[in-house]
């Protein structure tokens, strides 16, 4: 019982209860690990900050339960777009972070590889979502919702910057993607 309780406490401390993805606390641990690994290997990592476009209207019209269904599906799609060694985390609300580690080659090749993954994510998240909505006292009904993502991305290697700066830079690039018409990808310069 004690082991089960410790496991549950650990899960609550490091994972998002809705999506079961790592939360901010675990993300910071993983970024630190990726930075240390990059320092040893000389390989770049990439951090993507994603914000869902057109999420609020779903919550407003159909309720938070519908929003939760969408967030769970977004998490599933993100996981299917990356390697097992990469990290997909829920940052909060409708914001997610994807961290790619051990990218191949130098900076240019790493940027190209990260760009391919980001485009794969952008396409996957822009596909229609079929959500089964059930309100109390009503029959279940399926709705189709379209929701894309604005993605900001930054490369990092070793300990050239702090984890906080890397997240901040990817967040800035994400806002540039939103300002660029949404459903797009921007690298932090």
Task: Tell me which residue of 183, 160, 164 sits closest to 91, measured CA to CA.
Answer: 164
Give every CB contact of residue 165 below 8 A, 6+ residues apart in sequence.
Answer: none
Our answer to whether residue 51 is catalytic in this structure is no
Which one is catalytic: 16, 51, 94, 171? 94
d(CA 152, CA 48): 5
**Residue 51 near residue 174 (C-beta atoms within 8 A):** yes
| 63-100 residues labelled b (16+ CB within 10 A) or e (exposed) | eeebbebbbebbbebbeebbeeebbbbbbeebbbbbbb
Q: Which of 163, 76, 153 is nearest to 115 (CA)?
A: 153
User: What residues act catalytically?
Assistant: 94
């Amino acid at each position: 019982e004690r082991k089960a309780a410790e496991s549950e406490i650990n899960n609550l401390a490091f994972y998002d209860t809705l999506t079961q993805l790592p939360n901010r606390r675990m993300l910071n641990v993983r970024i630190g690990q990726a930075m240390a690994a990059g320092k040893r290997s000389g390989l770049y990592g990439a951090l993507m900050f994603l914000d869902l476009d057109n999420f609020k209207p779903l919550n407003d019209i159909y309720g938070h339960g519908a929003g939760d269904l969408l967030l769970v599906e977004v998490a599933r799609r993100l996981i299917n777009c990356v390697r097992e060694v990469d990290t997909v985390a829920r940052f909060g609300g409708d914001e997610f972070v994807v961290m790619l580690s051990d990218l191949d080659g130098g900076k240019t090749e790493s940027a190209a590889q990260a760009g391919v993954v980001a485009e794969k994510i952008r396409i996957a998240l822009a596909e229609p979502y079929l959500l089964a909505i059930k309100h109390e006292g009503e029959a279940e009904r399926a709705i189709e919702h379209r929701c894309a993502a604005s993605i900001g991305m930054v490369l990092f290697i070793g300990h050239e910057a702090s984890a906080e700066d890397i997240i901040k830079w990817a967040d800035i690039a994400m806002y540039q993607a939103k300002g660029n018409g949404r459903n797009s990808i921007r690298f932090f310069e």
